[in-house]
Amino acid sequence: MNLLDTMVEERPVQAGTDVDWWRGAVIYQIYPRSFQDSNGDGVGDLAGIIHRLPHVASLGVDAIWISPFFRSPMLDFGYDVSDYRDVDPMFGTLGDFDALVNRAHELGLKVLIDLVLSHTSHQHPWFLESRAGRDNAKADWYVWADAKPDGTPPNNWLSIFGGSAWEWDGERMQYYLHNFLSEQPDLNLHNTDVQDALLDVVRYWLERGVDGFRLDTINFYFHDPKLRANPALLPEDRNDDIAPSVNPYNWQDHKFDKNQPENIAFLKRFREVLDEFPGSTAVGEVGDAQYGAEIQAAYTAGDDKVHMCYDFSFLSGSKPNGDWVAKIIRKFEATIGDGWACWAFSNHDVVRHPSRWNLGEEAKRLYAAMLMSLRGSVCLYQGEELGLTEAYVAFEELQDPYGIRFWPKFKGRDGCRTPIPWVSDNQNGGFSDGKPWLPMAMEHLHRSVMQQERDEDSTLAFYKALIAFRKAHPALIKGALEVHEAREDHLSLIRSHEGTRIFCAFNLSNTAQPVTLPEGDWREDKGAPFAPITTDRGITLPPYHAYFGVEESQ
């Protein structure tokens, strides 16, 4: 056992701790491989994150979410875990992680880590024991099934990464389930011993000082024990929000390989562990195109499951116009009840949204303001505050197995994972002294942190001002939401909280538009990071501009 394991104490709860801090929080996602390399091997690490935490804190965000850093063969870059309780040497040590948590807390940042509970690496000791025979202690820890009489897989379930979700294993002479890579076998959470082992992992990291978790693929934890085949979807009902259109995964209604009702009971067990550590929280990733809002509501309702979830509503390729955003919001408001959402435009799995939606500089800022005005918490992906676009990565430099398989129609996820440019005056952007694991995008160098910190009108300065503006208004953080007006090129919302209303209007077009104010005594909030636009003749929004008005009850 590492000496540090004996030194970890359960953190005390300080007087005045805001256990509700997560509600409306802004969370900054760090993809460790591409954030900062401290030792010249070309891969970002925990020490590098520590070095750059002051930048994150300067944004005014509430928390960081760190993508997986656990021991792993890295076939899916850490989402294939081989040891849940240790740091992979490429990222550092447990001591580095403890130092990171301490430094983050000193800077006022909460720390969320990425937990992958639905599957492990095929090199995890649990799987090695499970595949060794059908009668050992862990024989039922993964999802095993016999072949059909003709040798084909048990049913028609498909992998998100392409092909059948079943892989033949000659050791056990059975198929095992994998919703992702064949090297990522799915755990069998119908087995309570598996649940107990995973909850022990949760408690281990909470005792180590983390403030919560991002739960990878939260709706994949359980499968239909009868292994019933998924029904087909009609072509007009297919959606490419979860998998690219070249992948036939989209041709099924995934009724039986995920989204199972047994998950609710497990999430309640999970929440019981979190509640042992007041102030801890969890945000779940809902990977579903058909039932996302309903799953969010079911998983976050009440105070006995996860605190918040996000789906792929705004992570898709469709540019969100006013009508579409209003439709999503209204469905969410009608469904969520007392649950809570976490909204995001970009992350490590999708094309960066400025490229996905073809946004110019003004539009980038406007859409950021719209994101910060929705009811829920917010996730920002590293580099979003710099206005980074999707990087081009040549085929011979690709690392992502997903992109390699479906190239060239789908180029994978490497373009959003290239290193962060910290400075403009060297070819690696200050990320590493060695050759980066993915190339530094040359077009990103002029958007470096160093260069933007010198410009008071930079995208970075805008994000800092926008986050500060949100923090200054409890109505934007925790208030109710009403859609005031929506059309293709315009969206306006009303947020309200404890006697204060905020009117948020967004011109989503490249032409000026008049704005219709709701009834009330409104004044323009001059603290918003947009130029004042009120005139004697009413309000006219310039292209890609926002207006924020405030009304306070007497």
How remote is the C-alpha of 26 from its chain's centroid? 12
Last residue of a domain, one of 437, 470, 503: 470
Last residue of a domain, one of 441, 470, 499: 470
Residues 376 and 269 in one domain: yes
Residue 379 exposed, middle or buried by CB count within 10 Å (0-12, 13-18, 19+): buried
- Domain extent, residue 523, equals 480-552
Helix (H, G, I), strand (E, B) or coil at 459: helix
Alpha-carbon Rg for the chain, nearest whole angstrom, is 24
Buried b (16+ CB within 10 A) or exposed e, 64-82: bbbbbbbbbebbbbbbbbb
Rounded to whole angstroms, how far apart are CA atoms 270 and 218?
12
Is residue 71, in this structure, part of any structural domain at all?
yes
CATH number at residue 548: 2.60.40.1180
Both structure tokens of 296:
């969010």
Closest C-alpha to 132, from 117, 120, 122: 122
Residues 413 and 533 in one domain: no
Overall pTM > 0.75: yes
Both structure tokens of 7:
């030194």
**Preceding omega of 408 cis (within 30 degrees of 0):** yes
Q: What is the pLDDT of residue 8?
A: 37
Last residue of a domain, one of 470, 498, 514: 470
In 394-454 the beta strands, taken as DSSP E runs, fall at: none
Residues 309 and 378 in one domain: yes
Residues 372 and 501 in one domain: no
Is residue 51, in this structure, part of any structural domain at all?
yes
Is residue 544, in this structure, part of any structural domain at all?
yes
Q: What is the pLDDT of residue 11?
A: 45
Rounded to whole angstroms, how far apart are CA atoms 202 and 285?
17
Is residue 150, in this structure, part of any structural domain at all?
no
Residues 486 and 342 in one domain: no
**What distances in angstroms separate CA 547 from CA 4, 456, 504, 544, one per listed residue?**
52, 21, 6, 10
Rounded to whole angstroms, how far apart are CA atoms 56 and 29?
10
Is residue 133, in this structure, part of any structural domain at all?
no
CATH number at residue 298: 3.20.20.80
What's the pLDDT tens digit per position in 23-61? Answer: 999 999 999 999 999 999 999 999 999 999 999 999 999
Residues 213 and 250 in one domain: yes
Closest C-alpha to 30, from 4, 10, 56, 5: 56
Please count the CA atoms within 13 angstroms of the CA of 343 that sit on its side-chain side. 19
Residues 206 and 283 in one domain: yes
Is residue 140, in this structure, part of any structural domain at all?
no
**What distances in angstroms separate CA 272 from CA 202, 207, 297, 483, one per listed residue?**
11, 14, 19, 36
Q: Any idea how long the chain is?
A: 554
Is residue 145, in this structure, part of any structural domain at all?
no
Rounded to whole angstroms, how far apart are CA atoms 496 and 498?
7
Q: What is the total count of domains within the chain?
A: 2
For the four alpha carbons of 36, 40, 42 and 43, in that order, the dihedral sign comes to: negative
Residues 15 and 66 in one domain: yes
Rounded to whole angstroms, how far apart are CA atoms 154 and 158?
11
**What distances in angstroms separate CA 293 from CA 26, 118, 385, one per listed residue?**
21, 21, 27
Residues 490 and 435 in one domain: no
Instruction: Give the catalytic positions in this structure.
Output: 216, 276
Residues 546 and 464 in one domain: no
Is residue 169, in this structure, part of any structural domain at all?
no
Q: What is the C-alpha end-to-end distance of the chain, expressed in Å?
A: 62
Residues 466 and 514 in one domain: no
Residues 454 and 517 in one domain: no
All residue ranges of the chain with pLDDT < 50 are 1-11, 13, 15
Contact (Cβ atoms closer than 8 angstroms) between residue 427 and residue 439: no
What's the pLDDT tens digit per position in 116-151? Answer: 999 999 999 999 999 999 999 999 999 999 999 999
